[in-house]
Amino acid sequence: MDDETIEAVGDVLRGGRYVKGPVVEAFEEEFADHCGTEYAVGVNSGTAAILLGLQAAEIGEGDDVFVPAHTYFASVSPVLFLDANPVFVDVRTDTYTIDPNDLEQKITTADNPAAVIPVHIYGQMAEMDRVTEIAKTHNLHVVSDSCQAHFAEQNGQKAGSIADIGAFSFYPSKNMTVAGDGGMLVTDDDELARRARALRNHGRDEAGVHRHLGLNYRMSEVLGAVGKQQLKRVDDWNAGRRRAASVYDDRLADIDEVVAPAENTDNKHVYHLYVVQVPDRSNLREYLDENGIGTGIHYPTPAHEHPAVVERCGETSIEFVEGLCERIISLPMHPRLSEEEVHTVCDHIEEYYT
């Protein structure tokens, strides 16, 4: 948070217009521009962006929505909220993004295929050429969960832009934030954008009529002011993350026990997280912790195993994801992580395994 950001927030506070104002509007325009989409709609979380994306696409009761089994709970909860059925799909064993072959397979046995939510997990885009082709064949809406992948690219196109709707989160740990909870929905479709705008504001249309059933998902002007400033710097921060990742890649290639993340050649990964697979994860975590190195697990539970999901969907098994969740560990990653710091982490991992 630099002085310019603090100044911009001060301007909003002094100005006295806190919602439905010009700052969020400008942030939306700049975000859409940066993303390469026609429209962007600011909301109050990434979860809201996914929910309103599905709702704008008229996904509802009885619709089957395909979701990768390896993701955060919020990729799935909006589906359940709309009384639609999540259908869990396996992920690729190298990139952990949705497996298009399994997606095709699951579509053939579904009753009402309606939408797919490819998740750009850890900052790398799912194979959107395959996903969109499959979606076209089966008439599915595509809502990409881009919450972890601000300005990741695939063949030069940005995350969120290769879908009917893209959903972003600005939760403080994300590649860019609004210093609080916030989200953005992007689309090229003017009707979807219009509906999403109405849905975030009590379902109220331009004429002031509550035509849809909507709640309040608006973004505040103060947070919009922070987002506008962060947008100017996110590309540099992503470059910093990529630099740290390449040092990790070089060092970890020499440690047999560690499976480093794979980056598809078409992709520009933005390393929201740097996640490796290891044997005996809990001992390694403890060892790193004793040496002052914090780690995380994203995520310890497969999406289909959360009690709130099982209660609605029953039990399913997705073997690869279940094993993966026991082996993954997120190593330190942020834009200002220095080369020396990455070496220190890798020295300790090396020490542990030797």
Q: Which spans of this chain sit near ligand PLP (rule: CB under 6 A)?
A: 45-47, 71-72, 74-75, 119, 145, 147-148, 169, 171, 181, 183
Minimum CB separation of residue 297 from ligand PLP in Å reads 13
Minimum CB separation of residue 234 from ligand PLP in Å reads 16
Of 183 and 261, nearer to ligand PLP (C-beta) is 183
Of 217 and 352, nearer to ligand PLP (C-beta) is 217
Of 164 and 346, nearer to ligand PLP (C-beta) is 164
Of 55 and 169, nearer to ligand PLP (C-beta) is 169
Contact (Cβ atoms closer than 8 angstroms) between residue 64 and residue 55: no
Minimum CB separation of residue 182 from ligand PLP in Å reads 7
Minimum CB separation of residue 204 from ligand PLP in Å reads 23
Of 145 and 305, nearer to ligand PLP (C-beta) is 145
Of 66 and 352, nearer to ligand PLP (C-beta) is 66
Give 261: exposed, middle or buried? Use CB within 10 Å, 0-12, 13-18, 19+: buried
Of 119 and 162, nearer to ligand PLP (C-beta) is 119
How large is the C-alpha radius of gyration of the chain?
Answer: 20
Q: What is the DSSP string of 141-199?
A: EEEEE-TT-TT-EETTEETTTSSSEEEEE--TTSSS--SSS-EEEEES-HHHHHHHHHH
What whole-number distance in Å separates Cα of residue 353 and Cα of residue 270?
28
Minimum CB separation of residue 196 from ligand PLP in Å reads 15
Q: Which residue is nearest to ligand PLP (CB)?
A: 46
Peptide bond into 299 cis (omega under 30): yes
User: What residues form DSSP beta bridges with 169?
Assistant: 183
Minimum CB separation of residue 10 from ligand PLP in Å reads 25
Query: What 3-state DSSP class applies to 41?
Result: strand
Give 226: exposed, middle or buried? Use CB within 10 Å, 0-12, 13-18, 19+: buried
Minimum CB separation of residue 123 from ligand PLP in Å reads 10
What whole-number distance in Å separates Cα of residue 127 and Cα of residue 68?
13
Instruction: Sheet with 165-169: list strands edge to edge.
Output: 39-43, 183-187, 165-169, 141-145, 113-116, 64-68, 85-89
